[in-house]
Amino acid sequence: MSERLLKDQNVQNNYMDEEYAEFEEFTLSNKVKWIIGIVGGVFTIGILYLFVVLIPSYYIPEASELSDIVKVGELNATLSPLEDPRIKQLGLDAPYDYEGGDDDLDNEESDEKGDIDTIGTSSKKVVERIILIGDIHGHYLAFRKLLRKLKYNSKSDHIIMLGDFISKGPDSLQVLDFAINNNLGCIIGNHEYAVLQNYALFHHLTVPKFTDNSSHSSSRFTIKDSFNSDPEFLLAKKLQPKHIQYINHCPLMLKLGEVPLHKWSNFGGIKSAPGIAVHAGIRWDLSLEDQIPEDTLEMRSYVGPFFNETTSDPHEKHSISWSKYYNKKNLPNKNVVYYGHDARRGLNLKKYTKGIDTGCDRGEKLTAMMIWLQKTPTGVIHYAERPVHVNC
């Protein structure tokens, strides 16, 4: 800047100071103050409206109608028995080591196709493994790490996410996109249900019911609409029709067909029982069709004296871990239940209950349970299962 220009500017500054001093002497009448106040207020509200309502509304995806949620779904996949070479190829013969936490992974995802010899003429997809995965909570990176460790192959494996695969963690939309693109199976968790409710609230739709004609469909869930700050409301606003349709198609419970029945060991054996997948648990005293949706999404314990009521609070008086009670209770045709939701109790494998929420969102682990059929050299079919985990 030239010296002359600088000088000019100094002169100008002095001049402005003088003007400011004059301005101070000038007093506004109360009337003018009011008018300025009102105009300013209206202007501020207008700007706020523009940035908070008008502009964001351009980025809100169109609404998709919601349909009723299937209460008891059937798995559209069946297992083909594996023989020795394939067992070794997939690493299913490796000793089970949960505490070891060995995360050494190949970088490549396996996409070779296993030889699947179809049994029967069912219209179901024939797969080598059914893979159940505990609460992912939007932790997409841990999820992909787990799939690499499993040597997941979308053609020969069928994945079922046990609810709470979105919300809390950083990448819910990526988990959803992956699930949609790879046709992953799912069941609904309390967080997906809350997102469905918030979506309905936001787009002025009716909250979907469970396809069930029983009388107890009261909704205990409350929607927290605290001026757009509830994370589930914010997530619901971002969902495109394909995302909400995916969440909406996840059933409350899923019948899995025959699964291994054994006191917990690495492997399983020749015994089997019907298996089901559910997010939190089931009431022992009701049939699957009669289960109460809110209980299956939220329970952690049964409450005495009859243990036919549930609570999500494991410290509630007169309550007992639902899985503990369910395993001890003598019942005809007991289902083996695969579930998540209970990160505090962590990996919880019993004969009739398999809890596999291992607290990924708390920085702990993400766990999958693989189920497969194994044909021994003598031709006997074994039902086998094994958990696999990665650190989050």
Ligand X SMILES: *[C@@H]1O[C@H](CO)[C@@H](O)[C@H](O)[C@H]1NC(C)=O
Interface residues toward ligand X, by CB under 6 A? 76, 123-125, 213-214, 289-290, 306, 308-309
CB of 149 to ligand X, least distance (A): 26
Let me know: does 381 contact 204? Beta carbons within 8 Å: no
Cα–Cα–Cα angle for 248, 250, 255, rounded to 5 degrees: 155
CB of 305 to ligand X, least distance (A): 8
3-state secondary structure of 386: strand
Shorter beta-carbon distance to ligand X: residue 58 or 306: 306
* Residue whose C-alpha is closest to residue 245's, from 67, 62, 59, 60: 67
CB of 289 to ligand X, least distance (A): 6
CB of 123 to ligand X, least distance (A): 5
Helix (H) / strand (E) element for 73: namely strand 72-74
Which tokens hold the place of 169? 């963690």
* Residue whose C-alpha is closest to residue 186's, from 203, 162, 204, 168: 162
CB of 213 to ligand X, least distance (A): 4
CB of 290 to ligand X, least distance (A): 5
Please provide the DSSP assignment of 145-193 as one string: HHHHHHT--TTTEEEEE-S--SSSSS-HHHHHHHHHHTT-EE---HHHH
Which tokens hold the place of 193? 């249900």
Helix (H) / strand (E) element for 111: namely none
H runs (alpha helix) in 255-318? 293-298
Which tokens hold the place of 147? 């799939």
Distance separating alpha carbons of residues 349 and 266, to the nearest angstrom: 11
Shorter beta-carbon distance to ligand X: residue 97 or 290: 290
The CA-atom distances, in angstroms, between 268 and each of 32, 86, 97, 153 are 85, 18, 16, 23
Phi, psi torsion values for 129, nearest 5 degrees: -140, 145
CB of 235 to ligand X, least distance (A): 28
Shorter beta-carbon distance to ligand X: residue 245 or 391: 245
Which tokens hold the place of 97? 């080591």
CB of 148 to ligand X, least distance (A): 25
Cα–Cα–Cα angle for 247, 252, 256, rounded to 5 degrees: 105
H runs (alpha helix) in the chain? 3-25, 30-49, 55-57, 84-89, 140-150, 172-181, 190-202, 231-238, 241-249, 293-298, 322-328
CB of 392 to ligand X, least distance (A): 32
Shorter beta-carbon distance to ligand X: residue 294 or 357: 294
Let me know: does 62 contact 202? Beta carbons within 8 Å: no
Let me know: does 254 contact 313? Beta carbons within 8 Å: no
Shorter beta-carbon distance to ligand X: residue 197 or 335: 335
Distance separating alpha carbons of residues 79 and 77, to the nearest angstrom: 7
Distance separating alpha carbons of residues 109 and 111, to the nearest angstrom: 6
CB of 125 to ligand X, least distance (A): 4
Shorter beta-carbon distance to ligand X: residue 10 or 76: 76
